[in-house]
């Protein structure tokens, strides 16, 4: 850590002592550097642990920013110590999930393209007056009151414009039925990197998605990540690779919920030799929708796939004909999957006794869609019906939700205390480091012999 201070003037306060005091405060649920400053002067335990260090508020903010790349490295060292002690061995069963944490950015400073353009025009005029040395009459509540503040605000607005342009591009690539209106695509002006969505308290705000990968046996957090998105889509391959980087191997079994599973995710898990245990497009909402649709229309499962003939056979024995092939964007347009559409002949459907249950509204034949490699989805669904998969899937919540409960209830992390993804990731790193140190100490106290440990 001392290498981080080279070439910066006078000798720093001992970083090891500052880190000890900060980790103690994080353990107590104190995450704000402003409160750390007061605790270093008033908390006797912190004073004893840090040998009387009394850093200023700005010093603690700088210390947190300086150690941003270190926290993840320290967490990895704890995991490797657990491996050396025998608490993490080959054949790891890992549970993956994410939770949304509110950003430090104000939820009242969300802007769409029209509002951002209006703000940028007003701010540009003010900056031109600043350059000429003319006084600026600040009539807008959102505008900074000083020239320096307006320069900083302009840089942040430029960043927000770049982020918003990318979100508008992604929105245009979505299917028309899922595409938002332009006015509904927004960005946070105080924290442009943060995603815009609803947090766990259903508040529409700027937020970050925190991902935890937890070992089933030891309950250690193997790895973590902080993402600028409000959903868990497209995160499974990334977290599997981070797990490999930390442990040196992939988990043998990966537990996750339905938000992580798509055809591409099933393919990625299979390519890495990971047994993925997660329901495919199944939740309470989809189950209700499926039950409702079953009463209105015969489901796709009633049609039999004929692999040799590459077509479907309907419940009345008629074969569907290939209609057309379509491209379906996935993972924000970075990858595509292809889907074929099959249609039953119109004369069969119009005279069919099952028309009222199969295709009551169409005047042409019933259509059925099938992805390329959909047999992987069918095999995955069949696997999820086995007793072993059901048992493992029931255990996922008890493994992963404990980590989130500890983070929010004991470490008091319900919103971040710094703007930007890097500071949010550093704050999560401190929480994970503390949680893993507590868990590793408990594992050693339960039984020093990991072969007998049943925690």
Burial of 148 (0-12, 13-18, 19+ CB in 10 A): exposed
Q: Which of 156, 194, 248, 112 is nearest to 423 (CA)?
A: 194
Range 16-43 average pLDDT? 95
State residue 381's pLDDT score.
92
State residue 173's pLDDT score.
81
Q: Which of 247, 219, 212, 224 is nearest to 436 (CA)?
A: 219
Mean pLDDT score of the chain, rounded to an integer? 89
In the numeric block, the tokens 């200023």 are attached to 56
State residue 362's pLDDT score.
81
State residue 455's pLDDT score.
47
In the numeric block, the tokens 């245009």 are attached to 172
Which residues, at least 6 apart from 37, have a Cβ–Cβ distance to it below 8 Å?
55, 56, 57, 60
- What is the total residue count of the chain? 455
State residue 438's pLDDT score.
95
pLDDT at 92 > cutoff 50? yes
Continuous segment of H or E residues that includes residue 206:
strand 204-215
pLDDT, tens only, 340-374: 999 999 889 888 888 888 888 888 889 999 999 89
Q: CATH for 72-104+198-282+383-452?
A: 3.30.420.10
Measure the CA–CA gap between 421 and 66, rounded to whole angstroms: 15
Annotated domain spans of the chain: 2-66, 72-104+198-282+383-452, 110-189
Report percent pLDDT > 90 for the chain.
70
pLDDT, tens only, 275-328: 999 999 765 455 555 555 555 678 888 899 999 999 999 999 999 999 999 888
State residue 13's pLDDT score.
86
């Amino acid at each position: 850590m001392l290498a981080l201070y080279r070439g910066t003037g006078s000798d720093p306060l001992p970083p090891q002592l500052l880190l000890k005091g900060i980790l103690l405060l994080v353990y107590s649920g104190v995450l704000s550097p402003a409160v750390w400053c007061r605790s270093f002067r008033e908390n006797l335990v912190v004073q004893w642990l840090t040998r009387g260090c009394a850093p200023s508020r700005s010093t603690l903010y700088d210390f947190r920013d300086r150690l941003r790349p270190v926290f993840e490295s320290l967490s990895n060292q704890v995991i490797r110590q657990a491996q050396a002690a025998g608490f993490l061995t080959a054949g790891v069963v890992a549970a993956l999930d994410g939770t949304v944490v509110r950003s430090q950015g104000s939820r009242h400073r969300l802007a769409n393209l029209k509002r951002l353009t209006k703000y940028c025009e007003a701010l540009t005029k003010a900056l031109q007056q600043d350059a000429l040395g003319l006084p600026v009459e600040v009539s807008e509540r959102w505008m900074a009151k000083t020239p320096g503040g307006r320069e900083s605000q302009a840089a942040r607005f430029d960043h927000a414009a770049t982020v918003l342009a990318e979100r508008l591009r992604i929105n245009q690539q979505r299917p028309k039925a899922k595409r938002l209106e332009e006015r509904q695509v927004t960005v946070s002006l105080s924290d442009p990197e943060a995603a815009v969505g609803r947090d766990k308290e259903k508040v529409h705000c700027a937020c970050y998605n925190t991902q935890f990968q937890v070992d089933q046996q030891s309950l250690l957090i193997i790895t973590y990540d902080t993402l600028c998105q409000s959903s868990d889509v497209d995160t499974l391959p990334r977290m599997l690779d981070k797990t490999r980087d930390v442990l040196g191997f992939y988990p043998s079994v990966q537990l996750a919920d339905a938000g992580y599973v798509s055809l591409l995710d099933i393919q990625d898990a299979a390519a890495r030799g990971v047994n993925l245990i997660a329901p495919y497009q199944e939740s309470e909402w989809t189950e209700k929708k499926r039950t409702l649709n079953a009463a209105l229309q015969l489901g796709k499962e009633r049609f039999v796939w004929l692999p040799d003939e590459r077509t479907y056979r309907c419940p009345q024995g008629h074969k569907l004909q290939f209609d057309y092939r379509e491209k379906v964007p996935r993972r924000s347009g970075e990858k595509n999957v292809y889907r074929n559409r099959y249609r039953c002949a119109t004369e069969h459907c119009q005279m069919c006794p099952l028309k009222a249950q199969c295709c009551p509204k169409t005047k042409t034949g019933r259509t059925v869609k099938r992805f390329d490699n959909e047999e992987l989805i069918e095999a995955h669904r069949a696997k999820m019906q086995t007793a072993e998969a059901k048992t493992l899937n029931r255990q996922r919540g008890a493994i992963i939700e404990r980590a989130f409960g500890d983070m929010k209830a004991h470490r008091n992390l319900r919103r971040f205390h710094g703007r930007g993804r890097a500071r949010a990731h550093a704050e999560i790193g401190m929480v994970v480091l503390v949680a893993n140190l507590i868990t590793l100490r408990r594992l050693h106290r339960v039984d020093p012999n990991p072969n007998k440990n049943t925690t």
